[in-house]
Structure 1
């Protein structure tokens, strides 16, 4: 069955509006007055694709991914220890996401754990996260390193990298005609369905990956996860480069420059981590 992380694992269940109010309040209290890492402004080109449409496409693709895993009996149960720790990690990071994208306070965050040897994880637009057991088991990730992976994938959704990639693709391949359709002047249902098929195969740019590394680093640090775990994570990624099933590394190549950039940014968020641990 699907592992859902919408704060449903709390001892007392509450309506979605109450959960949303909690997230908004938490974000208001703990949101950064300014980012400790420097990633600049998000691209305005992404506005060619409506946010609600790509979030709908992300939700549809997530449902399809979960359904396929269920059919293969590969969906990990909610009470599995690995699923439970992903739940804990997500609960700690989610309150800090709205500071990076206000829409995140309305997202119904979900996390699915899929039994597969693939070294892979992703977060679709709208907060739909999937982890494959291979990335946890084959890399022997501790909670700190798993939090860095989750923060990185959340950052892609928060910075709307998929929305930007699709907008650029739309502008290049189909021009203003399809752009007008995506903006509400054409067949939105067909466009959303087409988006869903592309979301899992998008290749982010080097700049996107760098942004996701740094925003994910800050998210995890604010949630109380050790910043230098980002360095050990990518060192493990590099060592695993000769292994099989590296879906994650095909789109997230490890290398000395990536590791050095993370290492140089660790001191910027160390104070956030220490404050979180004290709190």
Structure 2
């Protein structure tokens, strides 16, 4: 039994609310079949709402500073690429067709990008400009980030974080909606959305993202050039993106091994 399963088992006993073994997405051509353990008391809708509030705050702050970019060529590129990728998301989970997807570009030197729970995408201009990303490479990043959202890796991390906090504090903090409960929820959100993803989660996002991009008509080989650029960029001062998405030779090798599985999808896909 994995660590998360153990945590869930302990948490279930404390909370009288079990842990569900689920697979949030279909396997796709890349064959992602790992079962995930989620606290039943922590629904997808709750996580989406928590993240949506944080996302809207980020967007609002950028807008108030004049940093929200809706009109540049890059903003239009980003939206067009997102539209194509989002159209393929239901291949992995049909309910993604009903998500309230959002795409925003923030003018900043920061080398970062993210797609949070529920389909909230944000890119910082620095990652596009400084790495001189092609459309295919942007699709590789965005596909990877969308894959994290489709697989609900944030909710999975939150389930683990809840289990850890429950084991420390007992059931009392979560049995009501008092201040203790609210503080705990805040701790869990920060914990789960800022710490690096596990190696298995990163591998899943790499593979599903690769397939999403290929199905959307973007060259999957761009994932290799992207991570090569990332590895070179991180040699001196690692960018923010690399703190949660470390590049490595093994990652590139795994992507190279998976490309033959998705190339036929790319060849069959419309390119506009």
Q: TM-score, normalised by structure 2?
A: 0.82
Q: Is the 8 A contact 2:30 2:207 kept in 1?
A: yes
Contact 1:57–1:192 (CA<8 Å) still a contact in 2?
no
Are residues 108 and 178 of structure 1, via their aligned partners in 2, closer, same or farther at CA, if it must alter by over 3 Å?
farther
Aligned length: 244
Q: Please tell me whether residue 122 in structure 1 is matched to residue 114 in structure 2.
A: yes
Question: Does structure 1 residue 62 correspond to structure 2 residue 52?
Answer: no
Report if the CA contact (8 A) 2:162-2:188 is conserved.
no
**How much does 1:169 deviate?**
1.1
> Normalised by the size of structure 1, how large is the TM-score?
0.80
Change over 3 Å in CA distance of 1:106–1:179 after alignment to 2: farther
**1:7-86 paired onto structure 2 within 5 Å:** 35-45=28-38, 47-76=40-69, 78-86=70-78
Question: How big is the shift at 1:33?
Answer: 8.6
Shift of 1:75: 1.2
Q: How far 1:56 sits from its partner (Å)? A: 0.3
- Which residue is 1:170 aligned to? 162
What is the CA-CA distance between 1:155 and the residue it aligns to?
0.3
TM-aligned CA distance change 1:134 to 1:143, over 3 Å: same
C-alpha distance 87-126 of structure 1, shift in aligned 2 (>3 A): same
Moved more, 208-217 or 269-278: 269-278
> Shift of residue 154 of structure 1?
0.3
1:45 Cα deviation after fit: 2.8
In the alignment, does 2:194 pair up with 1:201? yes
Q: Tell whether the 8 Å contact from 2:158 to 2:189 is kept in structure 1 after alignment.
A: no
Shift of 1:102: 3.1
Structure 1, gaps ≥5 residues long: 1-31
Aligned to 1:186: 176
CA contact (8 A) 1:61 1:197 kept: no
Partner of 2:262: 269
1:230 to 223, 228, 236: 223
Change (3 A) 1:260 1:241: same
Contact 1:125 1:157 survives alignment (8 Å) = yes
Q: Give the SS at the match of 2:53.
A: helix
Task: Please point out which of 187, 198, 211 is paired with 2:204.
Answer: 211
Task: Indicate the residue corresponding to 2:14 in structure 1.
Answer: none
Cα deviations across residues 134-172 of structure 1 (Å, max 9, x unaligned)?
A: 110111100000000000000000000010011011112
Seen in structure 2, the aligned counterparts of structure 1 residues 93 and 133 have a Cα distance that, compared at 3 Å, is same
How far did 1:116 drift?
1.1
State how far apart, in whole Å, the 2-side matches of 1:257 and 1:47 are: 35
**Deviation, structure 1 residue 187:** 2.2
* 2:218–2:271 contact (8 Å) kept in structure 1: no
Contact 1:227 1:273 in 2 (8 A): yes
Quick check: 1:87 aligned with 2:79?
Answer: yes
2:133 aligned to which of 133, 138, 141: 141
1:112 touches 1:129 (CA, 8 Å); kept in 2?
A: yes
Q: Decide whether the 8 Å contact of 2:27 with 2:92 is kept in 1.
A: no
Mapped to 2, the partners of 1:278 and 1:82 lie a distance apart of 19
Q: Deviations over 1:178-201 (max 9, x none)?
A: 5994xxx53299366555544541
Q: Counterparts of 2:60 and 2:171 in 1: how far apart (Å)?
A: 30
Change (3 A) 1:245 1:83: farther
| Cα distance in 1 between the residues matched to 2:149 and 2:197 | 12
